[in-house]
Amino acid sequence: MSYTEFPSRLLENAVNEFASLPGVGRKTAFRLVMNLLRRDAEDVRRFGESIIRLHGEIHYCRLCHNISDTEVCNICNDDKRDKSIICVVENIQDVMAIENTRQFRGVYHVLGGIISPIDGIGPADLKIESLEEKVKEGGINEVIFALSTTMEGDTTNFYLYKKLSRYNISLTTLARGVAVGDELEYTDEITLGRAINNRNPYQQ
């Protein structure tokens, strides 16, 4: 059957919605939709409600911008975390990757992306101002640049360095156990854990 000729407009619309997700082609979207059709109505209702609630009820932590169910995330609320060390990451996937190593006991700051002129993303589009405000308020001893070792990641690191180097804090970066060009979420836990523990002073 051609994926451009559907027997039902409802089926076609559902396939188009799934295919709009990154990394999902039309054949995969068709299989996912057919799987939903074979499920019980209650399963499908639960699936749909979880997506609707995700969009309407999820929070972003007011302190670190991590995704959370509450105004302040569990990490920022944890009294055992060292609030004087901030690990700067690109997105929620990177927080999850670093947390899985169980090697970092500080807190995070999620930028929401990295500087990428080709994609139209500049410093103003990221959560950089709130990071500088945290440092300016005091109580921060170290900021770790834990961004992907890509050209865009390095550009963002340099921009952050220029903004934060005026303050009396340590600015460090992950040890190069993470290969150049790698994204953190795809780095194995042992390598990433070592890169965090053996971090180095940031060098221009």
What totals of helices (H) and strands (E) does the chain contain, helices first?
8, 7
* Statement: residue 204 has pLDDT above 70: no
Check residue 65 and give its pLDDT.
97
49 and 124 assigned to the same domain: no
**HSE of 114 in the Cβ direction (CA atoms, 13 Å)?**
21
How many Å apart are CA 43 and CA 65, to the nearest integer?
A: 32
163-203 pLDDT tens trace = 999 999 999 998 765 544 455 555 566 667 767 776 778 76
53-79 pLDDT tens trace = 988 888 999 999 999 999 999 999 999
Whether 188 maps to a domain, the answer reads yes
Q: How many structural domains is the chain composed of?
A: 2
- For residue 169, give the CATH number of its domain: 3.40.1360.10
128 and 181 assigned to the same domain: yes
115 and 173 assigned to the same domain: yes
Whether 63 maps to a domain, the answer reads no
Identity of the residue numbered 72: V
85 and 138 assigned to the same domain: yes
Whether 112 maps to a domain, the answer reads yes
The parent domain of residue 38 ranges over 9-57
113 and 178 assigned to the same domain: yes
95-141 pLDDT tens trace = 999 999 888 999 999 999 999 998 899 999 999 999 999 999 999 99
Check residue 203 and give its pLDDT.
67
100 and 178 assigned to the same domain: yes
113 and 26 assigned to the same domain: no
Which residues on adjacent β-strands are paired with residue 142?
85, 170
Can you give the pTM of this predicted structure?
Answer: 0.79
Check residue 192 and give its pLDDT.
73
